[in-house]
Structure 1
Amino acid sequence: MNKETTIVGVAALIIGFLIGIMVGGKFMAGSKASTSQATVQQGSGAMVNPGQASARIAELEQLVAKDPKNLQAWITLGNDYFDSNQAQKAVQAYNKALELDPKNVNVLTDQGVMFRALGFYDRALNNFEKANKLDPKHLQSLFNTGIVYAVDLKQTAKAKATFEALLQKDQTSDLARQAREMLQQLSTTK
């Protein structure tokens, strides 16, 4: 009987351990799902609670209302709108920033991305091309031009030419790798 009691005890421990793992695993999986639903990925890669993002946007809106010539506040507000998928508001904030610094290639590019999100492909292209003319080494604007041609306008020849131009300027960056992938995809599609 002593041997049977030991076997039953060990079996109970193993079964309890396995049940604990299964229940704990389900709890953790649910916890991870709710965590991912409660956060917003910012352009910087930081995870921010949507409530905190809204509070920060409200603070920035007050700041630019008091100090409309604060370039960095307009850019940050535009970026926060961008990160929270408020494309129209991002375009407006970036427009205010561009009134203060019309040659800011990063703002031109980010505003172009928001124009694209709104379906204004010609305006997006205009921003990307302007940014690239101001800084021919600004690869992100060149890559984004290729994306609009390839994905949105289905102009394969222009897309290929744009990605090839990017690769002539750079062979090693992540954008160069993505441009090669896009060229490969464009070559395999009809």
Structure 2
Amino acid sequence: MSQTHRAQGRQQQDGDYVRKSTMYMAVAVALIVGAFLGVQVASMYSPAPAQEKRAVSAPSQQAQNGAASQISPDVMGRILEMEQAVLKDPNDVAAWTKLGHLYFDTDQPKKAIPAYEKSLALKPNDPDVLTDLGVMYREDHQHDRALATFEKAIAANPKHQIARFNKGIVLYFDLERKDEAMKAWRELLAINPDAKAPNGQPLKEMMQSLQQQNK
């Protein structure tokens, strides 16, 4: 199982990466698991530990209800707080973004998508929010929209490494445009030659492994 990643918070200028894994692809088990790491690993938004999403498929309503029943009272309280905040002030971009993150973290892509879309309507072209939205589109099996959203994040910040990694994931595993995926990852390596897959494997080695599988 492999994953793309959430941008969570501000992307640091020195190329430090992210605390949370986000997306999935079909590749050898343990090839890509956990959070996407750079050479100098740092939390971009929160010091909370990495978490893994549970499934690639978009959850059914029953599955979403089941996920909701497993949400801790503390997290549910924060969700309710943010839901009230956006009702009170629909123009509060930070509240919409936080609400999107909470839905994201509780495996509710169908709720996260409109929250992130509203955030972006109020503050367009935020590359981190675009990247998170792209992840949620992908989990909802909207692969073309996911790709377009990652490309928009890259246009907003050409050095956004997580968006570039995720773009490669969608191209390679969902759209089967493998040459374009490799190109996207090579462009990432041009920005950070020491970029690594989530399990700590250098991205260069990951790419070589995938290429060998296709021979």
Shift of 1:58: 0.7
1:144 aligned to which of 166, 181, 184: 166
2:154 is the counterpart of 1:132: yes
Let me know the Cα RMSD of the aligned residues: 2.3
Q: Which amino acid aligns with 1:57?
A: I
Mapped to 1, the partners of 2:189 and 2:175 lie a distance apart of: 21
1:55 aligned to which of 57, 71, 77: 77
1:165 aligned to which of 168, 184, 187: 187
2:86 aligned to which of 64, 67, 81: 64
Residue 90 of structure 1 aligns with which residue?
112
2:139 is the counterpart of 1:117: yes
Q: C-alpha offsets along residues 5-41 of structure 1, whole Å, 9 cap, x if unaligned? A: xxxxxxxxxxxxxxxxxxxxxxxxxxxxxxxxxxxxx
Mapped to 1, the partners of 2:145 and 2:184 lie a distance apart of: 17
Mapped to 1, the partners of 2:194 and 2:95 lie a distance apart of: 33
Report SS of the residue matched to 2:124.
Answer: coil
Q: Which amino acid aligns with 2:119?
A: A
Q: C-alpha offsets along residues 100-143 of structure 1, whole Å, 9 cap, x if unaligned? A: 11110000000000000000000000110001011101111111
Of all paired residues, the percent bearing the same amino acid is 40
Structure of greater Rg: 1
Q: Which amino acid aligns with 1:53?
A: V
Q: Which amino acid aligns with 1:161?
A: K
TM-score when normalising by structure 1: 0.72
Higher-helix-fraction structure = 1
**Contact 1:166 / 1:179 at 8 angstroms: preserved in 2?**
no
Q: Structure 2 unaligned runs (5+)?
A: 1-45, 52-70
Q: Which has the higher contact order (CA 8 A, sep 6+)?
A: 2
Count of aligned pairs: 149
- Which segment drifts farther, 163-172 or 180-189? 180-189
Distance 1:89 1:181, change over 3 A: farther
TM-score when normalising by structure 2: 0.64
